[in-house]
Structure 1
């Protein structure tokens, strides 16, 4: 019957999903930066198995169990990274839902850029299923997603590099002059140089102008300076390449860029760990990871 057949044993039926986990482990072949996508997947997996989950991302658990990957490589993370990853994802989900309420579905495009193995559109399916949604990442990542990710109606995958202008052309082909675009870039920009971020902002403004909203997270210079002590990145060949210490520095990335609001990830961690409540008293720690909602002012 083949590996994907449903097999009956003395306990009953082993479903296709369980059988797939048992037999079809996916070989992983991605670069150093792309490999970091397994860090948030691991944390969402462990959260899904916890008695009091923050995200409760059961899809992440299913995906992780399909992977032939050395999870122990990133198993040494501490609670700060764990809670930080989860509250960041939860806030970005909520922010996209909030921002999507204003435009009507026909005039809105939602883009999860540098999506990795994120399951944002699965987590928000109850509120965002009527909108057009895009998952965008490098070709090897999109290929892996297509193998392991449960498909969703209304969601399209695009292979593209955020440091290249080509992905802009792809997105423009999906929009009109009236289309509003919400672009989520979570866990990505810290791996870009300042120049790459400036070039990205310039291209985005040129393509979409004031029709674009961006939800993204950035580190400050303290984290970048001490990244060798970071509990997850120290096990990777990837490195942090940019950090910003103020709203003025972020707005300085483009002449028309504007910070609508920002949230400290450490502040959002306070309900879960005492260390966050103490650390948030120190400005350089409180704003070590910040989620910004940005737009471009009219010319």
Structure 2
């Protein structure tokens, strides 16, 4: 199997026709049988992977080239998710705009060639698979919570956390799901999962969700300034499911598919065993 075929498997599994800006083949390779897959791959992980005799390395978070430089453009995908939640499309776009510019500025000054050049010099096939895995995680977690919580309208935020911990990645992680805004006994209301779209949309995006009728937002992670702002808004609840665990929910679905194709996959650098 080659690197492009592996990427295609991820796209197909996530229901994507085109390769998102934050994903792609960084260093192409052929005859791949053994893969190392990590949430974050730096030069040290590439060296370790070579010592372990792998034929290719997959990183979840973009670590080089266009997937890193164009990362902010993927955030526009959050608009579709916000619209699904009931946010008017024009409001969704405006709520996201400032945060997209902030992420763009941050990545514009980053060393986008550091890991990529190391992989290239090592002749190590290197793939970035970010948005496809996040979509898989978002879909699975939403379906699971819908099934567990039902439509009684009486679920509280503690029920959301307990339902998350039924999934193996959240059960096995050291960083358990946690309530960042709200209390265990607060009514959850409509529970909505947002995990794809690059990174956190920030306080304005979260407010837009709440104003559209979402009662509890389930996210991978949230920066402190956004948590502070959302607490001040005093509209809804936020459950931070956990970064490594949530990433692993999507990654493990892809790993399962790659194994079905006969590939050996080593989990490393943050990927939690299911």
Higher relative contact order (CA 8 A, sep 6+): 2
More helix by share: 2
Larger radius of gyration: 1
The TM-score range, normalised by the shorter chain, is 0.3 to 0.5
TM-score by length of 2: 0.33
TM-score by length of 1: 0.31
More strand by share: 1
